[in-house]
Amino acid sequence: MLIGLGAVLLAVVLIGVRPKTPGQFRSTVETSVQNAVSSVGTARVTGQTALRGNTFGPYESTVLEDARKSVATAISDIAESSVPDESSRDLRDEVLPLLQDSARLLGDLDAGLEDDDRAAATGAVDGLTAAGEKLTTVLEGLR
């Protein structure tokens, strides 16, 4: 009984993780990148505002935590999906490093703001600007 239930649950998980077509994979990537673009942009603006002294620490922390979660979800949604073909593999290999860089920069911004390290926070904001532009270019190519 338990073995049968385990097999059914495994099948449901595998069906949910594995896109059946290149179009479905592309749609997963598009949604993930779109969410990351939004989160990176929001974090960048929050960082800029914080550097001008116009935000409160709890607000900054909440925004950056939400952004990190969104980018982490984007990474896992793509990384956990099996790629159905070579063009999907190329797309994955293009997008994942951009998302991982965004996640790193979000962590750097959070640490810079928390430690009152203006140079680190400014560098992270600049990096997020560039990362956001790259992700936006990828997103435009997917549409």
The answer to whether the Cα torsion of 24, 30, 33, 38 is positive or negative is negative
Query: Domains of the chain, with CATH numbers?
Result: 22-142 (1.20.120)
Q: Give yes or no for a contact between 38 and 70, defined as CB atoms under 8 angstroms apart.
A: yes
Tell if the pTM clears 0.95, that is, is over it. Answer: no
Amino acid 45: pLDDT: 97
| 71 vs 87: CA distance, rounded Å | 23
Amino acid 5: pLDDT: 46
Tokens of 119: 């140079």
pLDDT in tens for each of the 143 residues of the chain? 545 544 444 454 444 555 589 999 999 999 999 999 999 999 999 999 999 999 888 999 999 999 999 999 999 999 999 999 999 999 999 999 999 999 999 999 999 999 999 999 999 999 999 999 999 999 999 98
Tokens of 68: 């990190």
Amino acid 143: pLDDT: 86
DSSP conformation letters of 1-27: -HHHHHHHHHHHHHHHHS-SSHHHHHH
Amino acid 20: pLDDT: 82
DSSP conformation letters of 58-111: HHHHHHHHHHHHHHHHHHHHHHTSPP-SHHHHHHHHHHHHHHHHHHHHHHHHHH
